[in-house]
Amino acid sequence: MTHDEPTGAIHVSGLTKSYGDHTVLDGLDLHVPAGRIFALLGANGAGKTTTVRILSTLLPFDSGQVSVAGHPLPGAARAVRRRISVTGQYAAVDKVLTGRENLMLVAELNHLGRSEARRRTAELLDRFDLVDAADRRAQDYSGGMARRLDLAMSLVAHPKVVFLDEPTTGLDPRSRREMWSVIRELADGGVTIFLTTQYLEEADQLADRVAVIDGGRIVAEGTPDELKRLVDGGRMELQFADRAQFDLAAGALPGAVTDDATLTVEVPTDGSVASLKALLDRIDSPDLAVERFALHTPDLDDVFFALTDAPRVPGPTSTKAAAR
Ligand code: ATP
């Protein structure tokens, strides 16, 4: 592990943290290259916020080696603090102040000087699409605008590493997408982004690398595509209108997983046209009418639920296509 590199890289090995006899982090290993977007995924209580708080110097740890932006913790906490910012589920925005006043306040706290503070404030208002709302009180901002202001405030002092603890929780889909594009622009500008999220789609959309945390340890780590290759999630689901047709299809597709409560037959597939055509050819009969079919390709949901003990919540998110 190097402690003097002038980058935004993060290195963690063997990190442990307990509260009494409750072990929260049990030998965590993480390596985040500079200028990348790294997502830490885990169920509620998995230790994500604890990790962010330790890496951002807000919480002491028990053992392990930690270096953030080229400086070791806990020894160089002040140097680390000068190079990072943290925005979390609890925004730092003062709601009584306007957007501009909030930014000016942070700039002054960072000793930018009056004219540089004004320049930086104007630049960030413009970059975060807050010029029209600049002189309105933050209490009148939408959730998306408040998050953008919070992130803008965290960038006043040009951090090398930005910690984002669940940056889009509670935002509507449009505001979430706007946040994603701001986060991507930040990474394009060379800032290292360490984000935690409960949205698997968010990690898939944003992250160069994803680590899955469970029981205080990293249970898988890689690009979203590498993680998806770890699981066999590809399958075609066929649903039939009545029992007779269901039985006929189940007979024509040996090895299929059948569910007679929903009259559904599930067949593994790699998703290629050739394999889908071969599959459909086998049930191509005038006596067989498929009521509904859906093609399911592996996604981060599959990875997450295969690797952790989190209970799977049924929902439509993992179904890629459905047609009659
Ligand atoms: P969430 O998504 O719910 O925020 P998380 O992955 O961020 O979850 P943490 O907040 O890091 O989880 O908490 C991890 C575990 O540590 C939980 O079991 C939590 O109850 C416990 N914990 C956190 N802070 C303390 C504390 N100050 N004292 C005792 N236990 C704590």
- The CATH number of residue 67's host domain is 3.40.50.300
Cβ of 90 closer than 6 Å to ligand 1, yes or no, is no
Domain boundary among 194, 226, 258: 226
The 161-165 sheet, strands edge to edge: 84-87, 161-165, 192-197, 37-41, 209-214, 217-222
Exposed / middle / buried, residue 52 (Cβ in 10 Å: 0-12, 13-18, 19+)? buried
Residues 51 and 130 in one domain: yes
Among 214, 201, 199, which Cα is nearest to 309's?
Answer: 214
> Which residue, by CA, sits nearest to atom 18 of ligand 1?
45
For residue 3, tell me if it sits in a domain.
Answer: no
Higher-confidence residue: 45 or 305?
Answer: 45
- Domain closes at, from 226, 256, 284: 226
Contacts of 200 (CB under 8 A, 6+ apart): 41, 299, 300, 301, 304
Among 167, 166, 132, residue whose Cα is nearest residue 148? 167
| 138 domain residue, yes or no | yes
Beta strands 209-214 and 217-222, pairing class: antiparallel
Asked whether residue 4 is assigned to any structural domain, the reply reads: no
> Would you say residue 317 has pLDDT above 50?
no
Examine the domain organization and report whether 261 and 185 are in the same domain.
Answer: no
Whether 27 and 129 map to the same domain: the answer is yes
Rounded Cα distance between 98 and 138, Å, is: 5
Q: d(Cα 126, Cα 115) in Å, to the nearest integer?
A: 17
Each residue's pLDDT tens digit, 229-246 = 777 667 888 999 899 889
Last residue of a domain, one of 202, 226, 250: 226
Q: Are residues 204 and 244 in the same domain?
A: no
> Has residue 33 been placed in a domain?
yes
pLDDT band of residue 203 (cuts 50, 70, 90) is confident
User: Stretch 241-252: mean pLDDT, rounded?
Assistant: 89
pLDDT-derived band of residue 27, with 50, 70 and 90 as boundaries?
very high
Note whether 178 and 277 are same-domain residues: no
Q: Please provide the size of the chain in residues.
A: 324
Domain-located, residue 15: yes
17 contact partners, CB below 8 Å, separation of at least 6: 23, 24, 25, 47, 50, 54, 59, 61, 62, 216
**CB distance 50 to ligand 1 below 6 Å:** yes
pLDDT at 324 over 70: no
Residues 213 and 46 sit within 8 Å (Cβ to Cβ): yes
Please indicate, yes or no, if residue 5 is contained in any of the structural domains.
no
Q: What is the pLDDT of residue 320?
A: 30
Atom of ligand 1 nearest to the CA of 50: 11
Within a domain: 1: no
Pair (265, 206) in one structural domain: no
194 and 245: one domain? no
Examine residue 36 and state whether it is found in any structural domain, yes or no.
Answer: yes
61 and 204 fall within a common domain:
yes
What is the Å distance from ligand 1's center to 115 Cα? Answer: 42
Instruction: Give dist(CA 303, CA 205) in Å, integer.
Output: 15
Please compute the mean of the pLDDT values over residues 135-162 and round it to a whole number. Answer: 91
Report the 10 Å Cβ neighbour count for 320. 11
- Indicate whether 48 and 173 sit together in one domain: yes
Question: Distance of CA 287 to CAs 258, 265, 280, 291, Å?
Answer: 19, 16, 14, 13
Ligand 1 centroid distance, CA of 149 (Å): 27
Q: What is the largest CA-CA distance in the chain?
A: 80
Q: Tell whether 261 and 179 lie within a shared domain.
A: no
Domain count, the chain: 2
**Are 174 and 128 found together in one domain?**
yes
Residues 241 and 107 in one domain: no
Q: What's this model's pTM, rounded to 2 decimal places? A: 0.78
45 lines ligand 1 (CB under 6 A): yes
Quote the domain boundaries for residue 278: 235-323
